[in-house]
Amino acid sequence: MSELRWDPLQREWVTVAPWRQDRTYHPLKADCPLCPTRAGEPETEIPEPDYHIAVFENRFPSYTGDQGRCEVVCYTSEHDSSLGAQSVEHIRDLVEVWQDRYTELKGLPNVRYVFIFENRGEEIGVTLSHPHGQIYAYPFVPPRVAREVESSRVHHQETGRCLYCDVLAGESGGERTVASHDTWLAFVPKFARWPYEVHLAPREHAGDITELSEAQADGLAQLLKSVLQKYDALFAKPLAYVMAMHQRPHESSDRDFHFHIEFYPPNRSADKLKMLAGSELGAGAFILDARAEDTAKQLREIGS
Ligand SMILES: [Zn+2]
Ligand SMILES: [Zn+2]
Ligand SMILES: [Zn+2]
């Protein structure tokens, strides 16, 4: 079982899972464990000749047993594809898969937070190139979310309003808008830490992915596709990113936490990466050399 160690200085949990050293590292396409099983070949993680969307438990999990769960979500059986290359209907099916897994995982004992995310691209250390995301069911509420919960609570106490609803209202001028839909908005937040960071949020308040209306779930599929297509067109190559879904912790009674998705691409240009260094890692203070208004304009103008 993995070991949780408490850092009393940062007041955060650190997880130690030594077996992850042995995880599959850049296999050849023919040995991809996320491709469907080919006739006459050894079984992959998915013992089927084809699939639409597949979910299974990570063989090299960070959390196991009564500490939580780690799942892999294969977006498509096609090895050389991506989330953004899927049809809106396919992404809409994925939203439903996310909703199902969220509901199931939050019900497991000792699970305090269900985190849906994707790591994409070798630039951020991805070891399997097959299009896939992950879901971690943590035995604690992770610190970035805990801090957002606290900020939302304080803001609500002070103003009576949802913090993120106010952030969205502040974006109504459109200067930092990347793409929009009736039910969703995508923008580079004024306070972005990464040059091409993008947030996606439902315009109407919802706390987690299962609280989305049909129209909001449809809007999410459409807006995800347009943002991802813009990302890949930006430097005319697949853009690396981390996608992080921030949802209200399922045990929280606060109704004012607003569901949103954050994307952090490491690139600051086609061939230059923003590296986290002294100020960011040592002091926790991000410094960037791009204005959100300029990068948002660049993204907004792609394909429109
Ligand atoms: Zn594959
Ligand atoms: Zn809200
Ligand atoms: Zn957030």
pLDDT band per the 50, 70, 90 thresholds, residue 125: confident
Q: How far apart are CA 268 and CA 256, in angstroms?
A: 33
pLDDT digits (tens, 9 = 90+) for 66-87: 778 899 999 999 999 999 999 9
pLDDT digits (tens, 9 = 90+) for 284-293: 999 988 999 9
Q: Does domain 3-301 have CATH number 3.30.428.10?
A: yes
If DSSP codes are grouped into helix, strand and coil, which group holds residue 7? strand
Write out the residues surrounding ion ligand 3, Cβ under 5 A.
Answer: 246
Q: How far is the CA of 11 from the centre of ligand 1 (A)?
A: 39
Average pLDDT over all residues of the chain: 93
Task: Report the side by side order of strands in the sheet with 69-74.
Answer: 54-57, 69-74, 132-138, 113-120, 241-246, 260-264, 198-202, 184-187, 177-180
pLDDT digits (tens, 9 = 90+) for 240-270: 999 999 999 999 887 889 999 999 999 999 9
Q: How far is the CA of 76 from the centre of ligand 1 (A)?
A: 9
For residue 210, give the H/E element and its range.
none
Q: How far is the CA of 36 from the centre of ligand 3 (A)?
A: 34
Q: How far apart are CA 197 and CA 178, in angstroms?
A: 10
Smallest-distance ligand from the CA of 256: 2
Smallest-distance ligand from the CA of 152: 2
Average pLDDT over residues 22-40: 85
Average pLDDT over residues 33-56: 92
For residue 232, give the H/E element and its range.
helix 214-234
- Boundaries of every domain in the chain: 3-301
Q: How far is the CA of 28 from the centre of ligand 3 (A)?
A: 35
Q: How far apart are CA 127 and CA 74, in angstroms?
A: 14
Residue 260: active-site member: no
Q: How far is the CA of 254 from the centre of ligand 2 (A)?
A: 11
pLDDT band per the 50, 70, 90 thresholds, residue 304: low
Exposed e or buried b per residue across 45-76, where buried means at least 16 C-beta atoms within 10 angstroms of its C-beta: bbeeeebebbbeebeebbbeeebbbbbbbbbb
Please, which residues have CB within 8 angstroms of residue 219's CB and are 6 or more apart in sequence? 181, 182, 183, 184, 202
Smallest-distance ligand from the CA of 130: 1
Question: Which region among 14-28, 43-57, 196-210 has the lowest average model confidence (pLDDT)?
Answer: 14-28
Q: Is the pLDDT of residue 224 over 90?
A: yes
Q: How far is the CA of 289 from the centre of ligand 2 (A)?
A: 30
Smallest-distance ligand from the CA of 132: 1
Q: How far apart are CA 250 and CA 53, in angstroms?
A: 25
Residue type for 169, please? A
Average pLDDT over residues 157-165: 96
Q: How far is the CA of 135 from the centre of ligand 1 (A)?
A: 19
Q: Which one of 90, 130, 132, 181 is the catalytic residue?
A: 132
Q: What is the pLDDT of residue 55?
A: 96
